[in-house]
Amino acid sequence: MACVLDLSTKEIVGYALSKSPNAELAKTALNNAIKRQQPVLSQLMFHSDQGCQYSATSFRERLSQLTITQSMSRRGNCWDNAVMERFFRSLKTERLNGLSFINHNSVISEVDNYIQFYNYKRRHSALDYMTPHQKYNELKNAA
């Protein structure tokens, strides 16, 4: 699974699932986020860990084509990517741990459901107990 998370709202704005953690997976998640949010690309920074999917030439070239600045965590330092690590922890502990899946599509369905919950219903203390989507609307209306 690859996700794109908006640091200002904690909202998952794009994601993709695949049986292989490769650059195509990361590019699909990125393209999903861009299609959904339609941001000003030159103002974006894409931060990730140093996983092979994010350091792959094809992914780096895609960011360059889109004029998105790339930032990567220091090797082996999970604190540099703490917000995304926290999302994955929440996904696992709140939804996936203890479940068994009959096929890949059932995993996709469960993750889709959790992301809807996470973005629209799950309140975050770091957001003054708003949901990520409520925070997005607050920031949009303030602009």
75: CATH = 3.30.420.10
Give a yes or no: residue 95 inside a domain. no
The pLDDT mean for the chain works out to: 93
Would you say the C-alpha torsion 124, 126, 128, 131 has a positive or negative sign?
A: negative
Give the pLDDT confidence score for residue 49 in this predicted structure.
Answer: 85
pLDDT of residue 27: 97
Instruction: Give the chain's domain count.
Output: 1
Structure tokens at 110: 């469960």
Q: What confidence tens digit (pLDDT) does each residue in 65-108 have?
A: 999 999 887 776 666 678 899 999 999 999 999 999 999 999 99
CB of 124 closer than 8 Å to CB of 130: yes
Place of tokens 């992914």: 59
**pTM summary value:** 0.89
* Position 58 in a domain: yes
Helix or strand (DSSP H, E) at 16: strand 12-16
Domain limits for position 71: 2-89+123-142
**Which pLDDT belongs to residue 96?**
96
Summarize the confidence of residues 18-45 as an average pLDDT.
Answer: 93
50-77 per-position pLDDT tens digit: 888 999 999 999 999 999 999 887 776 6
